[in-house]
Structure 1
């Protein structure tokens, strides 16, 4: 049986002017058009690994080109078009994959990349969804440990500021609202650190660095801000948490720690107006 949306190992049964017919062990055939040969030389009797899908005319065809995503998997794809009933994402072949309106958990923007799960709809056409929760896996024990640095992509946001993320495009994770200081949009890739592993295997991750590293980065950011503003800034350890977060993307607690370190080094002085570089 030839499977749509997946790789199939098929034998070249005959050549025609517009390509080759391939067949499985039961004699079921599918066309491999000349345009899909990907510069490969093909002869009758060859066994080929091809991807099978429906082309723009809704015909079932095969290709030797490599798609970026296959059915049953998650990929990071660019949205390339919109229509009244959905959107389209490029997955590396001539026909783009369709994202129905009901499968969009948020508004998609053309030119942006998002995480999608690929599936076959009721008409055997390739389709995508941004609703990934039930398709993400729980990592096996000991695959990750606290303090590991991993790659994550945001796939959804919550009203309380928590970000749902996919680790390595495969495993379920989340970033709590107090573990990131800047808004991160769905589809964005971030480097994160594992902070907690929940009982159900979900990875609690953070965009914040380890405390010592974060202090060093923040210290340099404060000094740079002072240098760029004539050696003065209207911030001190009494400034509001909101203003500090907006300018320095950090908490007031971390900001006060960094200021204290700079004062001990006699690099700055504070007064009621703000902070000055010595």
Structure 2
């Protein structure tokens, strides 16, 4: 049996001018074109590992090239085209992988990467889907406070983000654990902050308390320096506006403002916040 969309170990049966025919020993054979062999030396009766897919004429074809994804696997692939029937992603071969409209949980953007799962459609062509949740493993050997790389693949509620840790294991980032807008396909670093009973990994993009306050402090000072020492934000500003501008919670924002006031760097009024006269003078020096 020769499996489309997978790696097969086959035996070279015969050589022709344009390629080699490989056999599984049970009467099934497939062409390996010489154009994809390169400098590799292949002889009749050699056993070779090849990948099988369908070419532009819908014929099964073998290649020695290794694709970025095979059937039954997950991979982070770049979208290279979109039309009314679906989208196409680069799978590392001379033919792109097709993502039907019905297999798109969200709109795909050309040039952006997303997490896909590959399968064979009804015509035995390799296709992909963004509905990857059931194909992501639960578990993984992760520890509390470990920093990991994640890929967003969907939402678990209004603000909860579903992610694949290392592109493989299931994780979630609750709404109060991230302050930036996160979209499907986004890849970023996060920290393990909870391991649920079912094995799902809880994550946060927030820094440790002291670290985050230092980041917010720098953001506030930079904002003031870039806007002539004033800003229309104070400890009465809405949490949503603070999150949108400084990517932090109102609680951290208020604590940071309080610390800057104690240092004599800023003062607040009904209109917002401004640098103190001493700090203002430094801007003109």
* TM-score (structure 1 length as normaliser): 0.94
The residue that corresponds to 2:253 in the other structure is 255
Secondary structure of the corresponding residue to residue 109 of structure 1: coil
Cα pair 1:38 1:65 within 8 Å, conserved: no
Q: CA RMSD in A?
A: 1.6
Q: Tell me the CA shift for residue 130 of structure 1.
A: 0.4
Instruction: From the superposition, tell whether residues 195 and 71 of structure 1 become closer, same or farther in structure 2 (CA, over 3 Å).
Output: same
Q: Tell me the CA shift for residue 170 of structure 1.
A: 0.7
C-alpha distance in 2 between matches for 1:190 and 1:214: 17
C-alpha distance in 2 between matches for 1:268 and 1:159: 39
Cα pair 1:136 1:170 within 8 Å, conserved: yes
Secondary structure of the corresponding residue to residue 87 of structure 1: strand
The partner residue of 2:147 within 146, 149, 174 is 149
Cα pair 1:38 1:64 within 8 Å, conserved: no
C-alpha distance in 1 between matches for 2:190 and 2:158: 20
Q: Tell me the CA shift for residue 237 of structure 1.
A: 1.5
The residue that corresponds to 2:218 in the other structure is 220
C-alpha distance in 2 between matches for 1:65 and 1:242: 49
Alpha-carbon displacement from aligned partner over 1:167-221 (angstroms, at most 9, x marks no partner): 1111111111222222111111111111111111111111211222111111111
Worse overlay, 194-203 or 26-35? 26-35
Q: Tell me the CA shift for residue 7 of structure 1.
A: 1.0
The residue that corresponds to 1:211 in the other structure is 209
Secondary structure of the corresponding residue to residue 172 of structure 2: strand
C-alpha distance in 2 between matches for 1:114 and 1:38: 31
Unaligned residue ranges in structure 1 (runs of 5+): none
Q: Tell me the CA shift for residue 104 of structure 1.
A: 1.0
Unaligned residue ranges in structure 2 (runs of 5+): 280-285
Secondary structure of the corresponding residue to residue 99 of structure 1: strand
Alpha-carbon displacement from aligned partner over 1:77-120 (angstroms, at most 9, x marks no partner): 11222333222111011111111221111112222211100011
C-alpha distance in 2 between matches for 1:172 and 1:270: 44
Q: Tell me the CA shift for residue 76 of structure 1.
A: 0.8
C-alpha distance in 1 between matches for 2:35 and 2:225: 59
Secondary structure of the corresponding residue to residue 154 of structure 2: strand
Q: Tell me the CA shift for residue 159 of structure 1.
A: 5.2
C-alpha distance in 1 between matches for 2:107 and 2:242: 30
